[in-house]
Chain A
Amino acid sequence: MKDDKLVIGGHEFSSRFILGSGKYSLSLIEAAVKYAGAEIITLAVRRTNSKDHENILDYIPKGVTLLPNTSGARNADEAVRIARLARELGCGDFVKIEIMRDTKYLLPDNQETVRATEILAKEGFVVMPYMYPDLNTARDLVNAGAASVMPLASPIGSNKGLATKDFIQILIDEIDLPIIVDAGIGRPSQACEAMEMGAAAVMSNTALATAGDLPAMAEAFKQAIEAGRKAYLAGLGRVLTRGAAPSDTLTGFLHD
């Protein structure tokens, strides 16, 4: 477990819990990072574009990797512009691409996401695209130069858990990049399940923001993610689908 690192675009991380920052008080960010043991925190570029009155950047502890996101982008061109602005603002080379042309469900536009990934990867960004779990798109993202793939578990903010479980499993099985489950994870048990499936990391925002005690929930997620990871590495035992194992095998008659 000690050498078990999450590697994204050549950068190593020990923690597999990525924190969102947009839905709770700035004063709670430090505690959230601490109790979550998080090493990566996302932030919306459009919100960092604030003047001097309480800038979110001032609340993020040193040593934590910033993952600016392109929320507010409605197409690839806007996402590219926002990513470049993030770099200018000193947010580093990581970028999480979020492209939505639906303000109701905030579902990502896979096609435009592939296009933005291609442009930004060529410009040297470590591109982490948020996407609807579709194998063909995931393969396109790999070819476009993505550093990870971030499929949604269920609609953002819904806390509904792994509604797209089977399709995320396909990505985990078929894609060589880290699969980071993003959006919709509402409980530590769901985060644990995603990790047991072989997800490389889990990202969460609303689940913490809507919790009664944010730091305690951050810690609960941390432990759940670690447990899930450990279980995945240990190799889960088989699950019997029906009844007990038969003592007489069906193929016992085969002799040579």
Chain B
Amino acid sequence: MENHYFVDSDKLSEAALKKKHMLETYPSSRTNHMEYMEGMERIKSDIMDKVITEMKNYDYSQYTARDVNAALNHDTCTVEDFKALLSPAAEPFLERMAQKAKLETQKHFGNTVYLFTPLYIANYCENYCVYCGFNCYNDIKRMKLNMEQIEHEMKVIADSGMEEILILTGESRAQSSVEYIGEACKLARKYFRMVGVEVYPLNTDEYKYLHECGVDYVTVFQETYDSDRYEQLHLMGHKRVWPYRFEAQERALMGGMRGIACSALLGLSDFRKDALASALHVYYLQRKYPQAEISLSCPRLRPIINNDEINPLDVHEKQLCQILCAYRIFLPFCGITVSSRESETFRNGIVKIAATKVSAGVSTGIGDHESKYTGKESEAAEGDEQFEINDRRSFDKMYKDMSSEGLQPVLNDYLYV
């Protein structure tokens, strides 16, 4: 494994450092990542098997220009067609793929583009995921907002005009309990029309509780669908349990959520296989839960505090564009979100082809919206960021930019019923 992920801090105790090195060096010192921990719900589902079998059998080098051409000429895109569109053989067809993707996007979404913003309320984390800025061994400023601080952040964001919010925490049940998240969501309902969460995976009854607090959308990133690679990157903590994470979206839907989002973090493993698995995860969930609103994200690795070497490796913008066009052609009905990890130029271009939602006014830090939005020095403490964003446009700027690209920004298309 590339060791550019590993960064030691001189603030760690000798014992902590020793444990960290053990985890990094000796796989046998790590727990079994396929085994559910105590309290983790198991559900009956065949989706995981289907996705993983397809992914393992996917040999993208077998596809040729002929397969890609046939896929582009078909009215409906089969799983085989999708595999061809994701393959290296499709790279020379990128413009044609974009043209077809654009038509599909227009049919289903017209010229609308949805805007939202994330709000990080805590960055404590109990996991050691080697590429993440929040990981428990990384020396960053930790913080958890109290309800008063959360409300202040929400007011600042709501005043900017935003109507949809995604609430995030680091993955720590001890610091950010389900009740804490629930209370934050109740506050969010006061200021926003639409509330989603991106927090550690929960059991069905906990999703049900959050739904009652006003949440209707749940995002969980699988990071990588290659469980062996996952094991090498998520060395400690509950997040290490790969199958429990895989089934999070299904538990959320069973708990009454209206919509879910899936994704791999592109660049952690073989991105073509991860893209295939992400889309098939959505595809099989939709077949089993046809009423669910489903979306895909497409995050690429970004530099983190104390480690600026982290990058998405071989997933360049061209590859990302290919993946998004393939997603759109295979899943015309699916929402596609492109985050501020990507540049302004890329986002302006991709919303005209395949993406349907972009974030704006983004901070991945804790409690810093006022200083970021108004430039006013904050008197309160702020917590460090999860990763460095790329597109720093404010809500107003994004709204204007999308309008001038000929798109209709939509702030809310949702009712809590």
Contact A72 B414, CB 8 Å, known A103-B286, A103-B333: yes
- In the assembled complex, B107 has its CB within 8 A of some CB on chain A: yes
A34 within 8 A of B: no
A44–B163 touching, CB < 8 Å: no
- Give which listed residue, A22, A104, A158, contacts B112 with CB less than 8 A: A22
Q: Among the listed A25, A49, A105, which residue makes an inter-chain contact with B415, where contact means beta carbons less than 8 Å apart?
A: A49
CB proximity of A106 to chain B, nearest CB, Å: 8
Residues of A participating in the B interface, judged by any CB pair closer than 8 Å: 22-26, 44-47, 49-51, 53-54, 72-74, 78, 81-82, 85, 100-106, 157-159, 205-206, 209-210
- Shortest distance between the CB of A78 and any CB in chain B (Å): 4
Interface string of B283-302 (1 = CB under 8 A from A): 00010001111100000000
Contact A46 B408 (CB under 8 A): no
Chain A proximity mask over B401-417: 1 for CB below 8 Å, otherwise 0: 00100111111111101
17 contacts between A and B (CB under 8 A): A23-B109, A44-B413, A46-B412, A47-B410, A49-B415, A50-B412, A51-B163, A51-B411, A53-B163, A72-B413, A81-B417, A82-B417, A103-B333, A104-B286, A106-B333, A209-B106, A210-B110
Contacts of A158 in B (CB 8 A): 107
A85-B112 in contact (CB<8A): no
A73 partner residues in chain B, CB cutoff 8 A: 417
Q: Which size class do B's interface residues fall under?
A: 20 to 34
Which chain B residues (90-140) contact chain A, with CB distance < 8 Å? Answer: 103, 106-112
Interface positions of B from 365 to 417, Cβ below 8 Å from A:
399, 403, 406-415, 417
Determine how close the nearest CB of chain A comes to the CB of B287; give it in whole angstroms: 9
Given A24-B408, A53-B411, A210-B106 in contact, is the A102-B291 Cβ separation under 8 Å?
yes
Asked whether B193 is an interface residue with its Cβ less than 8 Å from the other chain, the reply is: yes
A209–B105 alpha-carbon span in the complex (Å): 12
Given known contacts A25-B408, A74-B291, A104-B333, A209 and B415 CB-to-CB distance under 8 angstroms: no
Q: How far is the CA of A102 from the CA of B417 in the complex (A)?
A: 17
Chain A residues near B399 (CB, 8 Å)? 53
Q: What are the nearest 10 A-B pairs in CB distance?
A: A23-B110, A101-B291, A209-B110, A157-B107, A102-B290, A78-B417, A25-B408, A46-B415, A210-B106, A104-B333
Q: Which residues of B contact A74 (CB under 8 A)?
A: 291
Checking A22, A50, A81, A102 against B110 with a beta-carbon cut-off of 8 angstroms, the contacting residue is: A22
Selected contact of A85 from candidates B294, B408, B415, CB within 8 Å: B415
Bound form: Cα–Cα A25–B112 in Å = 8
